[in-house]
Amino acid sequence: MHAITIPEPGGPDALVWAEVPDPVPAEGEVLVEVAATAVNRADLLQRQGFYDPPPGASPYPGLECSGRVAALGPGVSGWSVGDEVCALLAGGGYAGKVAVPAGQLLPVPKGVGLVEAAALPEVVCTVWSNVFMIAHLRPGETLLVHGGSSGIGTMAIQLAKAVGAKVAVTAGSEDKLAKCRELGADLGINYREQDFTAEVRKAFGGADVILDIMGAKYLGRNVEALAVNGRLAVIGLQGGVKGELDLGRMLAKRAAITATSLRGRPLEEKAAIVAAVREHVWPLVESGAVRPVVDRTLPVREAPEAHRLVEASTHVGKVLLTL
């Protein structure tokens, strides 16, 4: 098969289309013939040499894919050759074929195209596991989403609205804020011009849950923006890893902070997240309440161009790559 490889870390042109050996599905794995994959911010870091795949994972980038089941490894039941699926991956989506633990497969939801389905697994699993399984966002509560127009943000807005929560978002332009409002956001905050802490407190008295991608840079302001009993779920460190935490403010608000990365979680935890997504999120997708947001779709050989686009942050939602 062919795959996008990274012979040497570097800029977008470090991504090289090359012939590589086919993966062989191990015990409990399914071989998927990839139809499409998606660019995630983590792929940019992997390309630059800052985010190695976890032990045992494919060396090629790609944290999600859609496609057709091509073969079953030993001990797999419940899936058949030819099934249309999408999958959460620890790597290897930018390739003709990928071997996936069976617990990380999902059927393509009804009403969603095979290519479009590649936009779902990573963002749905990340948002569901953090905002709902860890931070327990409830109907009527307020969620603040940083980077509302990102792949993650566009899914977080829709899922929170679908369960009856209020949503505030930050973004860096009025165009992006308008797109977030179209997806259901109640409040859009331009982080280049406005103080998100003051805006969220003024509109909602504080955020019950914050989905944060900025890390250190926003730590203090996020704690100030939390309501009493608020939960801050950190999933990205775009603004640095080390910050100062005012435990007095946390204590007074009975607040909690969590930080997780989906890619490195054990297989059983990923399977539990995927099962929860199939139970709770797939019906919302099939009813049309939640949909994949695709900015554009390029052939996989144009992966360097796709990385440039995501790096420049001109997109809204997901950038897909077809095989």
Ligand X SMILES: NC(=O)c1ccc[n+]([C@@H]2O[C@H](COP(=O)([O-])OP(=O)(O)OC[C@H]3O[C@@H](n4cnc5c(N)ncnc54)[C@H](OP(=O)(O)O)[C@@H]3O)[C@@H](O)[C@H]2O)c1
Q: Which residues bind ligand X (CB under 6 A)?
A: 40-42, 122, 126, 146-147, 149-153, 170-173, 176, 191, 213-214, 235-236, 238, 260-262, 310, 313
Residue type, 169: V
Select 96 or 103, whichever has its Cβ closest to ligand X. 103
Residue type, 115: V
Question: In the chain, what's the furthest Cα-to-Cα distance?
Answer: 58
Q: What is 66-89 written as a DSSP string? A: EEEEEEE-TT--S--TT-EEEEE-
- The whole-angstrom separation of Cα 155 and Cα 146 is 12
Select 152 or 167, whichever has its Cβ closest to ligand X. 152
Q: How far is the CB of 223 from ligand X (least distance, A)?
A: 16
Q: How far is the CB of 40 from ligand X (least distance, A)?
A: 4
Sorted by sequence, the CB contacts under 8 Å of residue 105 that are 6+ apart come out as 30, 32, 69, 79, 85, 86, 87, 274
Q: Are 63 and 44 in contact (CB under 8 A)?
A: no
Select 1 or 178, whichever has its Cβ closest to ligand X. 178
Coil, strand or helix at 201: helix
Q: How far is the CB of 88 from ligand X (least distance, A)?
A: 10
Distances (CA, A) of 234 to 44, 142, 168, 257: 19, 16, 16, 7
Please state, as a whole number, how many other Cβ atoms lie within 10 Å of the Cβ of residue 206.
Answer: 21
Q: How far is the CB of 249 from ligand X (least distance, A)?
A: 21
Select 97 or 307, whichever has its Cβ closest to ligand X. 307
Select 48 or 238, whichever has its Cβ closest to ligand X. 238
Select 51 or 79, whichever has its Cβ closest to ligand X. 51
Phi, psi of 109 (to 5 degrees): -65, 145
Q: How far is the CB of 287 from ligand X (least distance, A)?
A: 24
Q: What is the dihedral of CA 217, 146, 85, 38, to 10 degrees?
A: -60
Select 31 or 88, whichever has its Cβ closest to ligand X. 88
Q: What is the distance between the terminal CA atoms of the chain, rounded to a whole angstrom?
A: 11
Task: Name the burial class of residue 89, with classes exposed (0-12), middle (13-18) and buried (19+) by CB atoms within 10 angstroms of its CB.
Answer: buried
Q: How far is the CB of 230 from ligand X (least distance, A)?
A: 18
Q: Which residue is nearest to ligand X (CB)?
A: 236
Select 53 or 151, whichever has its Cβ closest to ligand X. 151
Q: How far is the CB of 234 from ligand X (least distance, A)?
A: 8
Q: How far is the CB of 42 from ligand X (least distance, A)?
A: 5
